[in-house]
Structure 1
């Protein structure tokens, strides 16, 4: 076994992938811990009812921020990766994405702010959530900035900055605020999250531009839009798959059920933090290999990354499946009611991990339209099935529908990777 490992690590690309994946994983573990502690703090400080209001509002702004980014997430990642040593080009790509995304984010912020009474009373039938929706609405702008800046940093392999930008800094700031100030309401928590995101966005935007050189060219706006349009559909549908269920739980069920579902969902997402860590490393590699026409490099990196994922994620999946009540009970005795929800959602995330970085494989190699079709199928599946299943079977039904379509999305992406690139990521044991 050791001899085989040494042979594998002789390959410079595999060695680079392992080293940077371990680095990214370490930072991701920190990020996952911070997110976990943030959710834990909210559950304990606010209780099930108020935390349900907060998680419901947070799910809503996550979807709106995905809409506002106009699909530039992976466009920034792809084109910045191919021009990572050209500071002028890196800056132009980031500024182009922000120029169009921020006005949309501002309009959506106003929409949420002024329609908050309608949403609270007519959509969610929860009048108490009006102030929470208004307080969290500026977070849409902050989420847009940190997502695009994080992608720019990731493309340049600045993982130590990229991961905190997107997943750590604002949770830490907000968590410290609600604990130190003994916050007990969803509306105050929402306000502190918005302020934390504003601070994080400003700092990491400055950091991302610091030290860039004047090399490079002005990028083709038409080329960026060609990539962004299908990516926009991909991003919106992917966010719908992830965040639509808690919104529907909020529409049909009481706020405590939103809290149980949201906490279970966030614990289940810890399963895929290994995948996210590996994606941070391999996505820019896929883009760089594709720009050189190196299909074999893409294949080897993809299969090697799946092996890393299976070995790393299996123990986490096992713990979540065997001890769901213990994990949910950490958030409070009443949260144990969500144990079955956690088990169902973990199964969907397990499929997400074992299929590997198939979404990035398609997007970084110019097959965004295939990924768009995949996400349209899964996205519309969620939009149709989750309301029906939630109304019939409650939060358990929402979890079943969500988990099924997460699995379907990844399996369809595996099919298109095989069709377009000629290899199957599920057969990760095949010779590299």
Structure 2
């Protein structure tokens, strides 16, 4: 059956039954630094989390909370302090944040997830956290999308709608991430809300599959944070028949969710610390999907290539080196590469491109590298950014 139309709204809005707030509690000097997200009824929930061995206390707590019944009603979050590598005190502080938010909202603590981002290794100033939670209300504002930012230049948001079971379903997502980005499901946090009716276990299966082709295919600097997480909440208030894989409109919802996650992933890559260009790698001719994804992410993750793109230098050898350092199956004599539609490599040798024309193409804000491995029919896609002087400046004085 043909998928129904998916519409991207021009303005961000919450699905039915969701409310939020964001405040300046004092964890940061001026910007908003605490927020929450709330559903008027318990929502089905799913999450994917960092694989870093030093998983932060709030991340571990949220994972544990969701895994019980795949159900949440609220998320409370803060920036400026990651509450990571903080030992037993950090675990207690995350649990206290959960309990304080639950008390203010009048719901059970086991329905509240916790997310933190910022400096690793410092204890949360709980007096400030407590005061911040006391300030928050339930509104339709979008201030929470600002409250989670660290070195990000702007909030990253998207809202799409689609028809499911004769009802209009809304999916809205927001995220943060600019540096320390190399998710294995950087520092990145993503939150997606929907009024769709879908079981938590089915939502988890869908999210886990979609994360692999979206958030797990971006990189800014190759570093995986201790606090990564993506959480999806679906409260069922659209009143559509429960979504299952054998239902006609399931693929429409799955495609809409993928669209939200892919948009947010690309927005993180484009907002990489100090970045001036978004880089997209599209691989075809791969022996299998895993090879395609691996090659694409290795290309956008190459520091040498990222530096060349910043310098607008068509050094195609950087692309070939990145491809070759993977263990993917490659026809080493017949690889083709295009940059923004211009042939860069033909049959693993330099194409006869015009340097001035290529230089002009590299001045674009988005650089698309299309690669043909000539080894099969599978594909892969990944996103990254260039590597600039500003990135070093930001991270040389992160604590200042």
Interval containing the TM-score (normalised by the shorter chain): under 0.3
Greater fraction strand: 2
Greater fraction helix: 1
State the structure with bigger RCO (CA 8 A, min sep 6), 1 or 2.
1
Q: TM-score, normalised by structure 2?
A: 0.28
